[in-house]
Every structure is written in structure tokens, then in C-alpha cells.
Structure 1
Amino acid sequence: MSEQSNISQLSAQDAQFLYIQSATNLTHVMAVYIYDPSTAPGGKVRFKDIIEHMRKRMDISPMFKRKLYRLPMDIDHPYWVKDEHFDLEAHISHGRLPEPGDWRQFCIHVARHHSKPLDMTRPLWDMYVVEGLDNIPGYAKGSYAILTRIHHSTIDGVSGAHFFAAISDKDAKGTPAIPLPEGRPAAVDLPTVAEILSRAVNSTVSSPVKLAQALLKFTPALISTAQQSLKGGEDQTASGVPQTRFNGPVTPNKVFDAVTFDLEELKKMRLKVSDATINDVVLAICSGALRHYLTKHKELPEESLVAVAPVNARSRSGDDATPGNNISAMTIKIWSNIVDPVERLEAIKDTTRETKAAKSGLSARIMTDLTKHIPGVTMASVARILTDERFAPKMSNLMISNVPGPQIQLYMNGAKLTHQYGLAPLAHGMGLFIATPSYNGTISFSIISDRKMMPDVEFFRECLQRAFDELREAKPNAAARRPKKAAVAPKKPQTPKDGSVMYRRVAKKPRTVAPKAIGGSTPKVK
């Protein structure tokens, strides 16, 4: 963001999602919302009602009416400018699910829409209303879907969740779910040629100095990480990321499927291992599903699969509403080579805790910081190389994203929101993405992959269900079964006769020792 309020330039992190986009590597995200109109006035919602609702909510975010202005040869990061020809109805379309209107047809319809590029000459979002969802188990008769696509340069998972809450209502009467902003977003204007050139030159000249300063700041941590790598740390494998069917070039043709679970069940599962989190349970279910899937195809590697998990880098100061990206990531083993589901969850818990504080979290922070100081023309050139299928690095086997959503019932136009799914970009060398948005006591595991890599996506959905059932039925580990000792309450201070304050000694709590990493008691693998 510039010093002048009417000029808005993309950050380096936002811009990189533009630079890495290609015909086979689209970088928009898509949310799928299912509505039951039985709660709406008259039990029906018309297409024009949806348009008028969005017209009233246009001022909640500047992203709705601004478009990109890219510079020649990407000499600097692009700017946001006002779309003088903005037409709301050009961004909202309408269709109907083909017969027989079942779940399989719906998944195909969703995948095809996700596989189409956005119009990059207009504001980078659109909505597609789909009717005819009458033969899908769990959906009320008359239900319809709204498929909302937004380019990743505009929004990340956290700001996307805030955007959705802002266009939703907390009751069927139309009361906004969150307070709407007063007034309209500040208009964004095209900078002058002099301003563009000045910024581009300044960025190119100052970037090497800032880059060097950032490298110096991280030098001690980099040296420590290098020393650990040379020693061959316990989490190192000979091949790093194992080769799987998901580590090849992706095509423009995507597949989608999903399964929804009760969030309370996942909360119970995390109690099977001491200090495990919901995110650990999500990773464990995905790991178990991949184990079943690859075993069926006789492709399960001996080493653990590796996943990239996005990490919210926003502060707690309430900047969720700010458009754009503020994310980091961690790369972790998901222990797909462990047979027992509880042992797998425990290993994941230990690994995520170590990773957040150790080198994988460090590398993510380094990359996030360093990209701020790379000139636009350099970043664009490097991005084109890295997104070429011949040079794409094998950083992981898949990506797993867990973004908590609103845990209250939401509405739009009086229609009740019943289900929610999420789709995200793939990349050469990483052709599987599992998004797990939660909403109103449920969590949906959304599968996005390439049609060639996963032609049997419905079987992988069954594997997720099987992994969920196994972890739910498994017995907790010994530490989780052991009752916790009651905390020793501190004694109240006593006042001796001389008036001085004296405290009784309170027994110290035993020092918590991190459980041994896998290796002390070797879990059963393969």
C-alpha cells in the first residue's frame, strides 16, 4: 500500500500469485455454498434477489470494483485501479445442474467451473448460481449452490472467510452477520507515469540492500539450520520428499469431491493424544486416507509423505478484513508410513509442534520476508521458470489447508446455508490439495486434484471416510488415558505478627518433558 490513500499497489506476496499463473496453473480460489430456500420469504429465492443482495453489499470490500493495472514487462508490481465500466451483472451468472442432478454431476460441474480462468481484464471475482440440486443426499429439496471465485492475489483464506461473513446474514430477516462498514471504500486511481517510474526505480535500486539486510537478520538461524541438516537430523530422509503420482505436471482439467464430518467428533479424536489439536487430527485423517489410497494402487512410499500447510501470519489486531495475502507455510511429514491411527496422530502432533518452532517454520518466515525485497521484474521472471513443468521444484506431495469458519447458522436472502466447501490452486509437482473449511459444527474435507493424477476421486473420498472411522474407533494412547493430577492451588499469603508478608512455599509443577520422537519405541510401519 502506498503513502497516498488513492494509490494501491500489490504487495510482493499478492503479486506472486499473478506471476505464477499459467494456462494449466490457475491461481484463483473458489468457495462453494449450499443454500436451503425453505426459510426465505415464500420459500423461494430468485436469481435477481441474489444480484440485489450483492449490490447492497458492494461497499464491504474494495476488491469488488477494482481491477489490475500491470506494467510493461512487469518492471514493478501491478496496481489496483477503479474499473470505470464495472457491471455487477457481468460478475454473477446462473445455470442448472444437468440430469440426473446427483452428487456426481454436481462434483463434475464444480470441477469444470474451477478449471476455467477468470477474466483478468475485470475485477478478479465472479459468482455462479447453480440450481437443480434435488437428487443429492443430505440436501433439502430446492437447494441451490453459489460458486464464488476470487483470484488469490486479491484474498487469502482468512480474509476470504471475513469476506464471506460480510455478505452473509445471521438470521432469515437479513441482519448482517458482522457490522457493515460506514461509507464507501476509498477510490483507487491510476498513478502517473512519473510515480510509476519513480517507484519502479526505487524498488530496483533499494531491493538489493533490503535483501542483504534481511539475509543478515536470519544468518544465525540459517547457520543453525544448516548445521542440523549436516548432522542428519531425525526428520531427514535420504530422498527428502518421496515421489508419488501427485508430483508430476498438472493439466487444466481438475476433479473435485468432498465429505463432511461432525466437528465434535474431531474434537473427541484429539483427546486420544495428549496436547493434540484439531489441525493435527485433520492431518492424521488426510494421512490415513492417502495411505489407503496409495496402498490400493500399490504406490505407498516407504518414507512418509510430506505436506505443506498454510499458516496465518496476520496479527490478532483484527486485520482479517484487509484484502490481500498475509500467509506463511510449514512443510511437515504426515507419517503416512505408520499403520496405527493413534500412533500416527501422536507422531504428527510431535512433528507439528517442533516444526512451528524450528526450521520449517523458519524457512517459511525467511521466504515471506525475502520476497518483499525482490524486484517485480525479477520475481516475475523466476516465477515463470518455477511454474514451468520442467523446472517446478518438488517441495511436497500435497497441500492441506485448515481455515476455521463461522460456527453459527448463516443466511443469505433468507435462505439457510447448509454446506460449505473450498477449492484452491494446484501446481506442477503438487497435484493434490485438501481444503478443510469448518462451519456451524461441521468440517468439510474438499478434494481438488488433476483428472490424470486422480481419475478415481470418489475412491479417495471413501478413503477419507475410512480414515475418519478408524481414528474415531481407535483407543487413546496411554498418556491420554492417564488422569491428570489436580493443580496445586497457591496458598494465600500469611501475615506474621511483625507485619511482614510471608508466602508459604508452593510445590512446583513437574517440568514437562516433550515425548520422545519416533525412534525410542518404533511404531509399526508399512
Structure 2
Amino acid sequence: METVDPRLSFTDTLFWLSDSPCVTNILIFEEGEQPPTRRDVEDWLLERIDRSPLLTSTITPIRGHLAYPRWVETGVDVRDHVTVEHCTTSGWSEIGRRLVRLGMTPLAERMPPWRMSVFTGVTDVEGFPETATVVGFQMSHAAVDGLALAHLIRTLFGPERREQWRFEVERFAGLRSAMDTPVKLTRLLRAVGKSLTSFTRTAVASPHPLLPRTRLNGKLTGEAEHTFVTLGVQEMKRVGRTLGGCTVNDVALAVISGAMRSYLDMAGELPEHSLAVHVPISTRTAGPVLGNQVGSMSISLCTDIDDSEGRLRAIHEKASVEKRRFSETARNENWVENVPVPLLWAATKLPAPQQGNADQISFSNTIASNIPRGAANLSFLDMPVRSSLEMTGVVDGRGVSHMIASIGDVLTISVCFDSGILPDPEGYRGLLVSEFEALQVRADEVQAEAAAQNG
């Protein structure tokens, strides 16, 4: 069996030190005649808990922050990680509210960093089965990124399989790491100089310009909430293919762009210049799927274009350019792994930088992460999966976040938002639906025109 270095990476450690929100994956199952009990859930987990070392290992710091934290296999008591609740009210708002807020709550220390929240008897939710069991699985961002959690979910809820790896057992980790610190500092200085030289010689686009600040980028004044819309993957493929050979991700970004544009336009606050979206992109290579191997792209949402089709085509072009830019610059970022932990720890204690211009922000106005979950062959206590959702937190400056998830032919766009910044979530949800319908109508027109010409 393969052994894996138990040390957290630079990015993992940064998430761990900064108490970042959990990565949250939600699966919706079609409930049978009898809802599962807590005992059912615990027994089900016990049968599968050995499928991944991530479920039975704890992130352990090195005293004095002299080294990167380590994974240590400690075992697990599933009773400490599971809650089961039968719903007595219908609808999604209360469950969504609780899950998004729970995801922003730190996990217990000195335990495997995950929790599983099960809600049974869920009814009257558009896009769900008539009666559903909802499973919210949350894990520390220091342990996984979105793709790694999706992989773990398939390992846990999918057909029988186990991860063929375990964490290496280390001895005297703190002493060895303290001795390595001077070496790391030397490598860091050399790597930074080499990276800067390489970057200046590379013909890539310049850093992203400042972006207009909108009401969606203010300080949080309310409570974290959640809503979503459900779309079809095949229909999104048809729309994208018909309107310029765009991807499903392009279409999803165009739907989000149209909703944000309409929302701000109706408020009389549509900026002259376009908004942009932060899109995580995987840098994962072969090997066990854990930790954070992800980069960041900033893609224009082309909200300065008032035509839905034109906006979709422009987003497709902007995304292609940004992917090329990312591929050129991503190889220059490995130097961060040489940052000593004491220096990283000190950096996380510094106050957040102040925004220089109150009317502008940097990098992005919102986030849109897209994690496909593959075939709809997952199950939970013999209940088949029907849909999936993704959640993230909200922070000052980003009061509305979008998360895209798909399983089988069902795709959802989640909206995690601050109720003070987005007081009318149903209205915003309607704008998402309307924008997709506008793209569908235009795709129908293009196909009808092509058929007429060929006929």
C-alpha cells in the first residue's frame, strides 16, 4: 500500500491557521417509506469508515509552530461526528440556513476534521424528490479542496472501494523541521528571485485591473443564508454548443452574470465597467486525492454587455484567455512550499489590508466554483441520490457567492448570501432562472434558423 507524506502543504496550513470555512457537499436522496434513524446512520458509517484515512486521522500541530502540521491516524468515534434530525416543517430555507452557517463554524480540534448532518423527511423543495433525506458532509478546508471532497464523497457513498494509501508515520517531526528552517529560508529567497525573473520574461496578460464595487461587495450586516436553482446538464450542453461552442461552465457563468447584471440594473446601480468572478481551477496531478491543489482565475463576467447571447460568447472568450494566462503563470508558484511555518503563522496574525479606493475592489466581485460529481450511482442506506449542492461562506467584500454542482444530468447553482446584502433571495433566484430561459430561447431560434436553411 502506498504511503503518503503526512505534512500539510503551504495552502493546507494557511487554511488551517486562518480557521477557514469548511468545504460543504450536500447530497439529496429519495427517501423510502421509513426515514433513517441515528442508529441506522451510525451503523452505515461504521461499515465504511475505513474507506479513507481522511475519515480516521487528525490534523496535529507541531509545538511552537516550528513545522507544518501533520496528519496522524487516531481512529474515530462516529457518534462525535453525526447528527440526525427529522424535519417538522417543509421547504428549504431553514435547512439551507443551518448548513451554510454550520459550514462557517470551526470544527472541533483534536478530532478527524469532518461532520455529517442528516435531515430526514424533507418536503416541498423544488428540484427534490417528494420526500427527501438530505446529507450535508463538511470537512476542514485544510484537509480538502472541492475536488478532493467530491472524490471522498464518491469513496464513501459509491460502490464498494477503499483508498489504497495511508499516511506515513513520522518521528521527531518537530526537531527535524526546526533544523530544516534555515534551508527553507535559503530556498525561499532563491525561488522568489527565480520566479520573479521567469515571470517578467513570460508574455502573459498583466495583473487584473481594479473592479467596480457594488452593493454585493459591502460589509456583512445580516445572517448567512442559502438558496439554489436546478438546471439540466444536457440542456446546458445544448445551449452552449448551439451558441458558439461554449462549455457548461461558460453557460453557468453567463447565467450568474445575467442575474447579477439584472439585479444591479433594477437597483439603478449597474456599473459602467464589467464585474469579474473568482473561479478556482484544479492543479491536481496523479496520486492520492487529498489536500488543496487549486489555483485561482479571475474571469470577466462581461456585465457591460446587455445581450444574453453576446455576454455568453464574450465570457467564453475571456475564460479561454484566462486559462492560457493561468497555465503560463501557475508553474511559478511552487516557491511558497519553502515558506517556514513561523513566518506563515505570523502573516496570518497581521490585520487585513485596507482597500485603498472605496469605489473599487481587486480580483473579483463574487466566486463561482464548479465541481462535477460524476454519475448518479451514489446511495445512502439503499436510498438513491437525486441531486447535489455545494456551499461556501460569505465574507466582508463578498456578500454573495455562487457554487455549481452536478451529479448525473442534474446541475444546481447555489447562492450563499448575506441577508443584509441580498434581502430578496427569491427575486434573485428568479433572475437566474430567467437568464437561463433567455439563453434557451435564443438557442431554439438559432437551431430553427439552421434547420430552415438546411431544409
Compared with structure 1, are the counterparts of its residues 267 and 341 closer, same or farther at alpha carbon in structure 2 (3 Å cutoff)? same
SS where residue 436 of structure 1 aligns? Answer: strand
1:197 to 164, 170, 178: 178
Residues 69 and 79 in structure 1, CA contact (< 8 A), matched pair in contact too: yes
Q: Counterpart in 2 of 1:276?
A: 246
SS where residue 250 of structure 2 aligns? Answer: helix
Distance across 1 between alignment mates of 2:253 and 2:50: 37
1:323 to 290, 302, 310: 290
**Mapped pair 1:375 → 2:370:** no
SS where residue 260 of structure 1 aligns? Answer: strand
Deviation at 1:314, TM superposition (A): 1.8
**Mapped pair 1:356 → 2:327:** no
TM-score normalised by L of structure 2: 0.88
Residues 54 and 112 in structure 2, CA contact (< 8 A), matched pair in contact too: yes
Distance across 2 between alignment mates of 1:479 and 1:220: 46
Map residues 88-167 of structure 1 onto 2, 5 A cutoff. Answer: 88-97=78-87, 99-167=88-156
SS where residue 166 of structure 2 aligns? Answer: coil
Q: Counterpart in 1 of 2:386?
A: 418
Q: Counterpart in 1 of 2:72?
A: 81
Residues 76 and 203 in structure 1, CA contact (< 8 A), matched pair in contact too: no
Compared with structure 1, are the counterparts of its residues 65 and 180 closer, same or farther at alpha carbon in structure 2 (3 Å cutoff)? closer
Distance across 1 between alignment mates of 2:331 and 2:120: 43
SS where residue 225 of structure 2 aligns? Answer: strand
Tell me the matched-pair count: 447
Deviation at 1:137, TM superposition (A): 4.1
**Mapped pair 1:469 → 2:434:** no
Distance across 2 between alignment mates of 1:158 and 1:449: 22
Map residues 305-454 of structure 1 onto 2, 5 A cutoff. Answer: 305-315=275-285, 317=286, 319=287, 321-358=288-325, 362-363=328-329, 365-366=331-332, 368-385=333-350, 387=352, 394-454=362-422
Distance across 2 between alignment mates of 1:112 and 1:79: 28
1:210 to 191, 196, 201: 191
SS where residue 185 of structure 1 aligns? Answer: strand
Distance across 2 between alignment mates of 1:48 and 1:250: 39
1:33 to 23, 27, 34: 27
Q: Counterpart in 2 of 1:491?
A: none
TM-score normalised by L of structure 1: 0.77
Deviation at 1:17, TM superposition (A): 1.3
Compared with structure 1, are the counterparts of its residues 71 and 466 closer, same or farther at alpha carbon in structure 2 (3 Å cutoff)? same
Compared with structure 1, are the counterparts of its residues 409 and 5 closer, same or farther at alpha carbon in structure 2 (3 Å cutoff)? closer
Q: Counterpart in 2 of 1:490?
A: none
Q: Counterpart in 2 of 1:45?
A: 36
Distance across 1 between alignment mates of 2:232 and 2:439: 14
SS where residue 246 of structure 1 aligns? Answer: helix
Deviation at 1:142, TM superposition (A): 4.2
Distance across 1 between alignment mates of 2:446 and 2:27: 41
**Which AA in structure 2 matches 1:161?**
A
Distance across 2 between alignment mates of 1:307 and 1:417: 30
**Which AA in structure 2 matches 1:292?**
S
Q: Counterpart in 1 of 2:201?
A: 220
**Which AA in structure 2 matches 1:196?**
S
Structure 1, residues 285-313: CA drift from partner, whole Å, max 9, x if none?
A: 11001111112222211111011111111
SS where residue 139 of structure 1 aligns? Answer: coil
**Which AA in structure 2 matches 1:17?**
F
What is the RMSD of the two structures over their aligned residues, measured on CA atoms? 3.0
Q: Share of identical aligned residues, percent?
A: 22
Distance across 1 between alignment mates of 2:217 and 2:255: 21
**Which AA in structure 1 matches 2:140?**
H
Deviation at 1:91, TM superposition (A): 0.8
Residues 285 and 467 in structure 1, CA contact (< 8 A), matched pair in contact too: yes
Compared with structure 1, are the counterparts of its residues 6 and 342 closer, same or farther at alpha carbon in structure 2 (3 Å cutoff)? closer
**Mapped pair 1:19 → 2:14:** no
Map residues 164-183 of structure 1 onto 2, 5 A cutoff. Answer: 164-169=153-158, 175-176=159-160, 179-181=161-163
Deviation at 1:44, TM superposition (A): 4.6
Deviation at 1:203, TM superposition (A): 2.4
**Which AA in structure 1 matches 2:318?**
T
Look at both structures and tell me which one has the larger radius of gyration over its CA atoms: 1
Distance across 2 between alignment mates of 1:167 and 1:405: 13
Structure 1, residues 97-134: CA drift from partner, whole Å, max 9, x if none?
A: 3x432222332233332332211332211101112313
Map residues 241-260 of structure 1 onto 2, 5 A cutoff. Answer: 241-250=211-220, 253-260=223-230
**Which AA in structure 2 matches 1:91?**
H
SS where residue 211 of structure 2 aligns? Answer: coil
Structure 1: stretches of 5+ with no match in the other structure: 170-174, 230-234, 484-526
Structure 1 residues 381-390 or 455-464, which shifts more?
381-390
Structure 2: stretches of 5+ with no match in the other structure: none
**Which AA in structure 1 matches 2:300?**
K
**Which AA in structure 1 matches 2:55?**
F
**Which AA in structure 2 matches 1:284?**
A
Structure 1, residues 70-102: CA drift from partner, whole Å, max 9, x if none?
A: 245534322222336x322101112233x4322
SS where residue 306 of structure 2 aligns? Answer: coil
Distance across 2 between alignment mates of 1:423 and 1:251: 20
Larger proportion of strand? 2
Distance across 2 between alignment mates of 1:396 and 1:35: 34
Residues 66 and 174 in structure 2, CA contact (< 8 A), matched pair in contact too: no
Deviation at 1:163, TM superposition (A): 0.7
